[in-house]
Chains A and B, each alone.
Chain A
Amino acid sequence: MALTNLFKRKASGPSAQARADRGLLVFEHTSEVIRAEKILKASGREIRVMGPPPEIQRGCDLVVEFPLMEKLDILRTLDEAGIPPMESVPVTGPLLDPVDLFQVKDFGNHLMVRAANMKLTVEKKTRTIVNVSGGGCPDVPYIAARLIGRTLDEAPAPREIGHTLCGYALELAFEEMRRLCSS
């Protein structure tokens, strides 16, 4: 029975998967870690301060563990506080890089840019955003409703209104689209 297996696996203690949705914020100085901890805890986020894994021992000797899906929102909070981290990486793959490959498709009157799981489509003549597709985090429909029907110049950047990694991927597609449409 599947339920029995689930209990067995859970009873075997925390696995790598148990922290697969966590990320690490790396700062230059310990004082920044302490300030970041205070700010993020005060905003109700589930974070903790810990020692870094060997792969990322290049900043100070403490890192902040945070919910990776909320990366965009947390980075914005720390930016506003004047303590942006040097780096933010997944706990289970601290050497993984964010996607940096774009796929571009030209439909004739429309242009589509894809970054990771997110797609953004623009009418070339008017630079109006006509579609947002893909993604799985709940800010995607929220951002889509605010982008569709607006031009690339009028629309808010996804980094300003998004909160998650899908929002982050959409920001990359948005920036690439702006670059392509300005050249």
Chain B
Amino acid sequence: MLIVVGTIPDPTVPVLDALVEVAGNALTVGGRALPPDRGTPALLAAAAMTCDFLGENPPHALLVGDEGLGNGSRALYRHLAEVLPSRRCTVLAFHYLQPDVDGHNRVLMAAQAMAGPPALVADAGFMYAAKMSGYAGEYALFTPDAGELAFLADEAAPHPFYTRGFILQDEDRVPELIQRAYAHDNAARCLLVKGRVDRIADRTGILAEVSAPSVEAMEAMGGTGDTVTGMACALMASGLSAHKAAHVAAQANRYAGEAARPTPASQIGELVPHIPQALARAMGEIL
């Protein structure tokens, strides 16, 4: 089973701790409708579609409203530290949360006290906190883009906003930056680096690359990284290794993007319905 932790941009929403329900394009958590237009709802929609395609149980969501002041994130950090040790899942994924090193460390300890313990995945703000904490190696998968990889590779940077100028966000330097992130122990055991070429890597080097089909407009679309992470998490929860799950998810995201025929003005909700067919094609080719 997959548990997804994240935020939604409405500060009035309290901590939600419930199964995800999907009917058509509508996503509901704890009776609250969440448009899968970007951020954690987009990740959840992709994960739920993948679970359904695989015949697995839907993901469980732990969400809170936070518009960036961090109040919701802090409440969710406290809730997680309290409830995680008594929960069970195979994959625990963290997404948009206010990066907070102390809060991260408490949550990590609670996660590692879970039965199993589950494989941990971090993306977005929680990946920033995981890197800053010095415990990146406790995670099974990070899913950075090129700018976030530069942040992981820069041992001094506290946030991608401060990544040093000498570490340029140049996709041609991705292999070098992956090596540098591992050299400073600032990477998860597996990395899915999203970009013009998606690269799946571990400490030994690059394991797989996905570069086609190339759907240029997806670079501008908000949420394409969220859908690929959502698919990867659900595939891991079904039993695939992190690197196989990341490989299939990266390929399926491109197929779904191709089928949606997007422009740079397209929204991520247009890609989500194409996920089942895209997964079938990618799994047939890779597994």
Contact = CB atoms under 8 A, between A and B. Distances in A.
B169 A101 contact: yes
Interface residues of B, number: 68
A25 B161 CA distance: 17
Nearest to A137: B125
B257 interface: no
B68 A73 contact: yes
Given A3-B109, A139-B67, A107 B216 contact: yes
Interface residues of A, number: 65
B259 interface: no
A164 to B, nearest CB: 5
Contacts of A133: 219-225
A20 B97 contact: no
B73 to A, nearest CB: 6
Given A93-B162, A130-B264, A133-B220, A138 B66 contact: yes
Given A96-B157, A97-B165, A144-B222, A67 B70 contact: yes
A133 B194 CA distance: 13
A131 B134 contact: no
Contacts, number: 204
Given A6-B108, A6-B109, A116-B163, A135 B124 contact: yes
B264 A68 contact: no
Nearest to B113: A3
B46 to A, nearest CB: 15
A103 B195 CA distance: 14
B225 to A, nearest CB: 8
Contacts of A141: 7-9, 38-40, 96
Contact of B100 (A9, A21, A110): A21
Interface stretch (A31-39, A57-65, A117-125): A117-125
Nearest to B170: A103
B98 A99 contact: no
Interface in A126-167: 130-145, 162-167
A131 B221 contact: yes
Q: Find the residue from A17, A143, A169 having the highest chain B CB count within 10 A.
A: A17
A131 B222 contact: yes
Interface string A49-87: 000000000000000000111100100000000000000
Contacts of A2: 112, 117, 138
A93 B132 CA distance: 12
A112 interface: yes
Contact of A107 (B126, B156, B264): B264
Given A69-B159, A131-B264, A142-B9, A101 B165 contact: yes
B62 to A, nearest CB: 14
Contacts of A101: 165, 168-169
Contacts of A69: 70, 98-100, 159
A82 B151 CA distance: 33
Contact of A100 (B97, B165, B223): B165
Interface in B148-173: 148, 151, 156-165, 168-169
Contacts of A41: none
29 contacts: A6-B108, A17-B134, A20-B101, A20-B133, A20-B158, A67-B100, A68-B159, A70-B69, A90-B157, A92-B158, A93-B162, A107-B217, A116-B163, A117-B151, A131-B264, A134-B225, A136-B123, A136-B127, A136-B128, A137-B68, A137-B96, A138-B7, A138-B125, A140-B96, A141-B40, A145-B9, A162-B68, A165-B162, A166-B160
